[in-house]
Chains A and B, each alone.
Chain A
Amino acid sequence: MKYMIMMFGSAGEMMDVKSPDWIREMIQFMRQLDVDLRDSGEMVFNAGLADGSSAKTVRLADGLPVATDGPYAEAKESLIGYWVLDVENEARILEIAGRIVEWSEVVEVRPVADAPPEV
């Protein structure tokens, strides 16, 4: 079963409140996690994202696409990384997400909807 784990947070926020030791341990955890998930054969793909403050939002304005900088205001919690994993069951994905949330503010887990249609 494929799931996406989405990790929310902010590099800026992290630099404000964390110690260098904490950051160093977090980095080691993230690297080791990727190694472990590749070794176990569960990693489909993953990526880290640039800080949310570099985002642009594209909206339709009078029927035309318009790109604006941001969202800055909500930069405290934006998507900063994701993993698509192919795991045995939901318990396993929740276990992995539980390890990640120790280092991140919020983690969202969602099934990837790639099952064949049953209709």
Chain B
Amino acid sequence: VTSDRRIESLLRELAPQALGALVRRHGQFDACEDAVQEALLAAALQWPKDGVPASPLGWLVTVGERRLTDEWRSDSARRRREEADAALDLVPGEPAADHDDALTLLFLCCHPSLSAPSQLALTLRAVGGLTTAEIARAFLIPEATMAQRISRAKQSIKAAGVAFDLPPPAERAERLRVVLQVLYLVFNEGYLHRADLTAEAIRLARLLHRLLLDEHEVAGLLALMLLTDARRAARTDPDGMPVPLAEQRRELWDAAQIAEGIALLTATLGRSAPGPYQLQAAIAAVHDEAASAEETDWPQILALYTVLEHVSPGPVVTLNRAVALAMVEGPAAGLAVLDTLRGDESMAHTHRLDAVRGHLLELAGELAAARECYRRAARMTRSVAEQQYLALRAAALPGDNVPKAGRSGV
């Protein structure tokens, strides 16, 4: 089993390199991507039996190339003649372990012409080396649906006529922002639903960090993921109910992961104006460093949220700053900040404003009003676990004139 797992992680690592080599040689991202998936599948079956070949990357490229020529041969009689000749010229690969290929692929899969769900799916398959079935399972949708989504994403890339090259310097910052966003979305998807996606997001962020050591926001994103994921074991109770940060058992937090995140962050902070991921990672670090909820350095967190609000303003940041302010100056100050979000269109259809308001009202001792907020939030959330959690919070507070304990068990 251990060696199977070793092979699996080797294949995941080699997937973008093999794909990069094929695309460089033959163009046709679409066909090459299918060929690499088949080569990965063949390797997953063969290597555990026969052992890992001396040049695993060369093996994958050669098998992928063979699939490509098979594909071309079966295309048409005309192509068959052409490609059969060309196939003889194929040099069974010793492609350079060109790490730029993985980067180029990341930019390609996160191309702005694709929708966010397509970017996520394609990144996981072409760069992450996951199979369509694995991706479909992770997103809880049928495999045929995911296959179609990936196939359409590849067609869009073809239609957009994107070259297999790094984006030009003028576009690079904006394109990198999209890549980081896609990786963060993969992470969040995993954080909310599936731990294996979280691990994959962290692996891809590590890869990106290795490729772009000087990009502080890449380090910031990786640190943010590590510092957040470190709390995973404490985030839900044995029944699967969410446990708020203040009530988590901190001995369950992953100390090694926290140390790694903090080290990454320390290496970048102060070297340039921090970006949003570095700031969010810094906030996560302050939480992680507190030995208990009571010892949390809220003034520091408030200062970081205030900077974050300047760098990357948005209602969710304001919401979080309101909580920090409430912890520093009292719930009334936090509630006053929440009032500024009242007319915000993007807050109108989420449960978050009411959930936070309920929390602050509860802190202020206004229990009936807090209960109303939790109830409204429970009606609006899209998460069953959160709905149940908010229902519990509401039910635990005294209401106006409603019988509480009655009708147990119906």
By a CB distance below 8 angstroms, the chain A residues around B378 are 11-12, 15, 51
Chain A interface residue count, CB cutoff 8 Å, equals 26
Contact among B375, B391, B406 for A23, CB-based, below 8 A: B391
Cβ B382 vs Cβ A50 within 8 A: yes
Minimum CB–CB distance for A80 against chain B, Å: 9
B241 is an interface residue with CB less than 8 A from chain A: yes
- Categorize the interface residue count of chain B: 20 to 34
Cβ B391 vs Cβ A11 within 8 A: yes
CB nearest neighbor in B for A51: B379
Minimum CB–CB distance for A60 against chain B, Å: 25
By a CB distance below 8 angstroms, the chain B residues around A22 are 407-409
Interface centre among A15, A20, A48, A54 (most CB of B within 10 A): A15
A 69-112 binary contact with B (CB < 8 Å = 1; else 0): 00000000000010000000000000000000011010000000
B 354-388 binary contact with A (CB < 8 Å = 1; else 0): 00000000000000000000110011111010011
Minimum CB–CB distance for B405 against chain A, Å: 5
The interface-forming segment of B194-202, B214-222, B396-404 is B396-404
By a CB distance below 8 angstroms, the chain B residues around A21 are 408
B410 is an interface residue with CB less than 8 A from chain A: yes
Contact among B239, B379, B382 for A53, CB-based, below 8 A: B379
Minimum CB–CB distance for B409 against chain A, Å: 7
Taking A17-B402, A17-B406, A27-B239 as contacts, is the C-beta distance between A50 and B391 under 8 angstroms? Answer: no
Cβ B379 vs Cβ A20 within 8 A: no
User: A12-B375, A50-B379 provided; 19 other pairs, C-beta below 8 A?
Assistant: A12-B378, A14-B391, A17-B402, A17-B406, A18-B395, A18-B408, A19-B405, A19-B406, A23-B388, A27-B241, A27-B392, A28-B239, A48-B384, A48-B387, A50-B382, A50-B387, A53-B379, A53-B380, A54-B380
Q: List 17 A-B contacts (CB under 8 A).
A: A11-B379, A12-B375, A12-B379, A15-B374, A15-B391, A17-B402, A17-B403, A19-B395, A19-B405, A31-B240, A50-B381, A50-B387, A51-B378, A51-B380, A51-B387, A54-B380, A102-B409
- Residues of B bordering A, CB below 8 Å: 239-241, 374-375, 378-382, 384, 387-388, 391-392, 394-396, 399, 402-410
